[in-house]
């Protein structure tokens, strides 16, 4: 067995992913099946050679067993949903603001009259501050809720469980929350040091630059604007804002250079670098991606101390195995999966791809020297993209061709910015005056990176949607072809032919997908918290009805996936402050030919500024009727309600706080009912589908037996309604 740790680590991770997908009930059966296969492979001489199958089955059996045990340990959390209980805990992270509330991460010490997992955490949302900072002991009555959203393998509930967070909590009375004591520990001291670094960054950088530096150095994106985050995501370089191997490699290199410049003995340098790595991991919150890269760096340093060279894949396998053993829900962390996959791709194929690229210019020495760094960066990017594609397609349903030029233009400046900002923040702690001078190049680099991301995200086909059955079909065929090539023998012609076939198959699948959507009207129902937005698209043109909720990101993400740069119409529904702000931000990114809103909505400064990007602003007090795309779609509004007519479908949007008596009687004859809140009575309604702005668990609690329609929940994934030329309708969900 050439790389045993890589085999065992990735087998363990794959088994945990399967366990997450099928759930805790089937995990014991999978554990038994893997144990039986391990016994067969171990005892049978034919399969014993190399111990590959035996080791992988043993790792899988242990993974299924550990997941089942962990799920059983956490089962007590389900009983706390919706209850009010006396909570006692300690604040174990820096507070931050989200959705107009202050958020505290609380490590629970006691839940009155109920069991709770040891060292389990809850996320507390308070309207008013209830604690000063990390280390404060908090006591009070809170209402507990399970995380909203899908309960699937990569849903919000599983991803939070990976971080040890099991419940949301809302204080019943902020004034009754007490802070009787304060705890001190090494972790609290590290958080205090991190807070000092945050204050230092705020003192020398502008507000926007400080938020960007915090995201780059510590992975903290709470203060970073959604627009910047969306630009980096569309450009395919969101990994720059998530602390992982790239960041730790840069910091490790910087620490090594600084310590060697002091001419310290080699063992002292190694210990100093190791201590710096551990401290950086701590300030980054010990996220899975930074722990993965930290373990690999420490393994490399250990190899240097022993005069041995650490194998990258074995180091990666060891890191994956240790993290999965520590928390079986690690497989639910998409950042960890993407980080591990990208590292594997770079390790296995970056060198080979670089050699292929270097052959393009022959043996010219000058070109070889000039282009070698470019080829190295391009090869690493392609290797990472190749190995993360099987994850990004099912998880996000998008492909970002802009990632290739974005990485070429931004990786080196990001490395330079990371080093300069790291030194500047440290300098700001001891010498703020000198740090102000050093902050100038940091500000220039921040501006350059944000400008690059903004420019690349606006390019045609910077990111496009490739999801659903077509994407899974192509992915399955590609994996089958590469598996067949491996079985037939490892030779370059076979792999080249396989790669060419995969590219041809991808283009054919994409073309067939676009042809199938011609003259098809797509209606995507999106939610952001307690608000709903509807995105209508047809033949490359788009309209948006409603911008409810606390964020415009779902709308922008859907428009980017469809490669929409401009809107034909943006129509507001409720006229709330949040909707006006979301609409203004949307117009900044996606100018509209027509903006429909109430006159009072323009009192919102964000919407007023965004309206300058609209070709025409029409204020409608009572209602309106708009026809789009040669009368293929008609949008009507009367009083509080909006109706969309397309083909045989009548889609009625019931906004929050709408008064039922204002609904026209003939509008009750709808085929699809979209509800921001559940009406008191649905008498007289007989839709085919009812779309609720909530998750499936909440839908099950408000559901009545006399409802005749099929319920769908927006919190479990965007809902797409496709209406074809022959008035055929498909209702789809991208999970």
> What pLDDT sits at residue 491?
60
pTM listed for this prediction: 0.80
- Return the structure tokens found at 90: 């300690």
> What pLDDT sits at residue 79?
86
Q: Is the pLDDT of residue 149 over 60?
A: no
Q: 586 and 692 share a domain?
A: yes
Give the mean model confidence (pLDDT) for residues 189-209: 91
Q: 65 and 141 share a domain?
A: no
Q: Does a structural domain hold residue 199?
A: no
Q: 12 and 107 share a domain?
A: no
Give the mean model confidence (pLDDT) for residues 260-275: 84
Q: Is the pLDDT of residue 505 over 60?
A: yes
Q: Name residue 103's beta-bridge partners.
A: 96, 125
In 471-582, at which residue ranges do the beta strands (DSSP E only) sit? 521-528, 531-538, 541-545, 567-571
Q: 668 and 548 share a domain?
A: yes
- Give the Å distances, CA to CA, from 222 to 229, 239, 351: 10, 16, 37
Write down the residue that tokens 């502008």 correspond to. 206
> What pLDDT sits at residue 500?
80
| 342 in Cβ contact with 171 (< 8 Å) | no
Name the pairing type of β-strands 165-171 and 689-692: unpaired
> What pLDDT sits at residue 323?
93
The 3-class SS string of 273-333 reads HHHHHHHHHHHCCCCHHHHHHHHHHHHHHHHHHCCCCCCHHHHHHHHHHHHHHHCHHHHHC
> What pLDDT sits at residue 452?
93
Q: 653 and 559 share a domain?
A: yes
pLDDT > 70 in the chain, percent: 92
- Return the structure tokens found at 590: 């996606």
Q: Does a structural domain hold residue 215?
A: no
Domain boundary among 183, 202, 236: 183
pLDDT band (50, 70, 90) for residue 398? confident
Domain holding 492, by residue range, is 468-516
The contacts of residue 27 (CB under 8 Å, 6+ apart) are 19, 64, 65, 67, 68, 71
> What pLDDT sits at residue 86?
92
The chain-wide mean pLDDT, for the chain, equals 83
Q: Is the pLDDT of residue 179 over 70?
A: yes
Q: Does a structural domain hold residue 445?
A: no
Residue predicted with more confidence, 200 or 500:
200
Distance CA 154, CA 341 (A): 16
Q: Is the pLDDT of residue 689 over 70?
A: yes
Give the mean model confidence (pLDDT) for residues 592-598: 87
CATH of the domain at 153: 2.40.50
Query: What is the sign of the dihedral through the CA atoms of 499, 500, 503 and 504?
Result: negative
- Three-class SS state of 628: strand
Count of other CB atoms within 10 angstroms of residue 618: 13
Q: Does a structural domain hold residue 205?
A: no
Angle of CA points 583, 526, 104, to nearest 5°: 80
> What pLDDT sits at residue 64?
94
Domain boundary among 75, 104, 126: 75
> What pLDDT sits at residue 709?
66
DSSP for 79-128 reads GGTT-EEEEEEEE-S--EEETTEEEEEEEEEEETTB---TT-EEEEEESS
Q: 653 and 725 share a domain?
A: yes
Q: 613 and 717 share a domain?
A: yes
Q: 564 and 704 share a domain?
A: yes
Domain boundary among 75, 94, 121: 75
The contacts of residue 37 (CB under 8 Å, 6+ apart) are 53, 57
The contacts of residue 48 (CB under 8 Å, 6+ apart) are 41, 42, 54
> What pLDDT sits at residue 493?
67
Distance CA 49, CA 526 (A): 53
Give the mean model confidence (pLDDT) for residues 104-133: 90
Count of other CB atoms within 10 angstroms of residue 150: 19
Give the mean model confidence (pLDDT) for residues 454-479: 80
Tens digits of residue pLDDT in 312-333: 888 999 999 999 999 999 988 8
- Return the structure tokens found at 192: 């205090």
Q: 68 and 104 share a domain?
A: no
Distance CA 643, CA 625 (A): 9
Q: Does a structural domain hold residue 155?
A: yes
Q: Is the pLDDT of residue 366 over 80?
A: no
> What pLDDT sits at residue 450?
93
Q: Is the pLDDT of residue 206 over 60?
A: yes
pLDDT band (50, 70, 90) for residue 387? confident
Q: 559 and 656 share a domain?
A: yes
Q: Does a structural domain hold residue 376?
A: no
Distance CA 112, CA 143 (A): 12
Q: 28 and 150 share a domain?
A: no
**Of the ranges 83-97, 360-374, 383-397, 597-611, which one carries the lowest mean pLDDT score?**
360-374
pLDDT band (50, 70, 90) for residue 391? confident
Q: Is the pLDDT of residue 466 over 70?
A: yes
Q: Name residue 88's beta-bridge partners.
A: 110, 139
Count of domains observed in the chain: 4
> What pLDDT sits at residue 320?
93
> What pLDDT sits at residue 489?
64
Tens digits of residue pLDDT in 470-491: 777 888 888 788 777 766 765 6
Q: Does a structural domain hold residue 667?
A: yes
Q: 668 and 596 share a domain?
A: yes
Q: Which string of b and e fits 112-132 if b means at least 16 CB within 10 Å?
A: eeeebbeebbbbbbbeeebbe
Tens digits of residue pLDDT in 290-308: 899 989 888 888 877 777 7
Q: Does a structural domain hold residue 393?
A: no
- Give the Å distances, CA to CA, from 561 to 394, 396, 459, 558: 14, 10, 13, 5
> What pLDDT sits at residue 608?
86
> What pLDDT sits at residue 378?
87
> What pLDDT sits at residue 632?
86
């Amino acid at each position: 067995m050439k790389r045993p740790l890589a085999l065992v680590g990735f087998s363990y991770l794959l088994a945990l992913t399967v366990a997450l997908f099928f759930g805790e009930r089937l995990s014991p059966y999978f554990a038994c099946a893997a144990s039986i296969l391990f016994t067969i492979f171990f005892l049978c001489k034919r399969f014993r050679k190399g111990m590959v199958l035996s080791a992988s089955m043993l790792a899988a059996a242990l993974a299924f067993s550990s997941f089942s045990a962990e799920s059983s340990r956490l089962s007590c959390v389900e009983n706390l949903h919706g209850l009010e209980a006396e909570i006692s805990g300690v604040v174990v992270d820096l507070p931050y603001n989200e959705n107009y509330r202050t958020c505290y991460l609380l490590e629970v010490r006691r839940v009155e009259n109920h069991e709770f997992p040891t060292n389990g955490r809850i996320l507390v949302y308070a309207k008013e501050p209830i604690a000063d900072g990390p280390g404060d002991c908090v006591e009070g009555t809170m209402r507990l809720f399970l995380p909203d959203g899908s309960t699937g393998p990569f849903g919000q509930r599983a991803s939070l469980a990976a971080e040890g967070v099991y419940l949301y909590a809302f204080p019943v009375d902020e004034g009754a929350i007490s802070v009787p004591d304060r705890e001190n520990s090494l972790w609290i001291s590290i958080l205090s040091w991190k807070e000092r670094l945050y204050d230092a960054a705020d003192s020398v950088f502008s507000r926007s630059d400080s938020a960007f530096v915090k995201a780059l150095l510590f992975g903290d994106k709470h203060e970073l604007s959604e627009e910047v985050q969306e630009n980096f995501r569309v450009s395919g370089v969101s990994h720059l804002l998530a602390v992982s191997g790239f960041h730790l490699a840069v910091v490790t290199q910087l620490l090594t250079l600084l310590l060697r410049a002091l001419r310290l003995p080699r063992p002292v340098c190694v210990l100093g670098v190791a201590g710096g790595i551990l401290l950086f991991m701590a300030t980054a919150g010990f996220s899975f991606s930074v722990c993965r890269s930290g373990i690999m760096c420490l393994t490399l340093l250990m190899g240097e101390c022993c005069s041995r060279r650490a194998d990258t894949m074995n180091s990666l396998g060891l890191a994956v195995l240790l993290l999965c053993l520590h928390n079986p829900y690690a497989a639910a962390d998409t950042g960890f999966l993407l980080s591990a996959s990208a590292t594997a791709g770079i390790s296995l194929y970056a060198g080979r791809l670089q050699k292929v690229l270097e052959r393009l210019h022959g043996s010219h020495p000058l070109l070889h020297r000039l282009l070698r760094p470019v080829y190295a960066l391009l090869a690493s990017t392609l290797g990472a993209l190749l190995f993360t594609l099987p994850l990004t397609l099912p998880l996000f349903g998008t492909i970002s061709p802009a990632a290739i030029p974005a990485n070429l233009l931004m990786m080196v400046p990001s490395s330079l910015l990371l080093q300069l900002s790291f030194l500047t923040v440290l300098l700001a702690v001891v010498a703020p005056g000198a740090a102000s001078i050093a902050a100038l190049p940091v500000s220039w680099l921040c501006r350059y990176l944000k400008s690059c991301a903004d420019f690349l995200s606006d390019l045609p086909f910077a990111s496009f949607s490739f999801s659903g059955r077509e994407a899974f079909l192509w992915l399955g065929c590609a994996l089958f072809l590469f598996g067949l090539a491996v079985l037939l023998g490892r030779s370059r012609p076979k792999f080249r032919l396989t790669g060419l076939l995969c590219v041809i198959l991808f283009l054919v699948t994409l073309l067939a997908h676009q042809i199938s959507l011609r003259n098809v009207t797509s209606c995507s129902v999106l939610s952001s918290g307690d608000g709903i937005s509807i995105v209508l698209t047809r033949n490359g043109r788009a309209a948006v009805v409603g911008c409810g909720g606390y964020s415009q990101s779902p709308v922008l993400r859907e428009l980017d996936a469809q490669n929409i740069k401009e809107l034909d119409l943006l129509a507001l529904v409720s006229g709330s402050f949040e909707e006006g702000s979301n609409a203004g931000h949307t117009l900044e990114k996606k100018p509209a030919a027509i903006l429909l809103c109430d006159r009072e909505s323009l009192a919102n400064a964000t919407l007023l500024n965004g309206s300058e990007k609209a070709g025409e602003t029409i204020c409608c007090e009572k209602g309106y009727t708009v026809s789009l795309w040669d009368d293929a779609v008609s949008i009507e509004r009367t009083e509080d309600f909006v109706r969309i007519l397309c083909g045989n479908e009548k889609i009625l949007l019931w906004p929050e706080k709408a008064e039922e008596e204002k609904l026209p009687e003939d509008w009750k004859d709808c085929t699809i009912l979209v509800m921001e809140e559940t009406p008191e009575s649905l008498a007289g309604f007989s839709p085919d589908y009812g779309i609720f702005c909530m998750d499936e668990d909440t839908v099950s609690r408000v559901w009545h037996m006399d409802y005749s329609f099929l319920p769908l929940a927006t919190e479990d994934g965007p809902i797409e309604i496709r209406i074809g030329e022959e008035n055929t309708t498909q209702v789809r969900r991208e999970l």
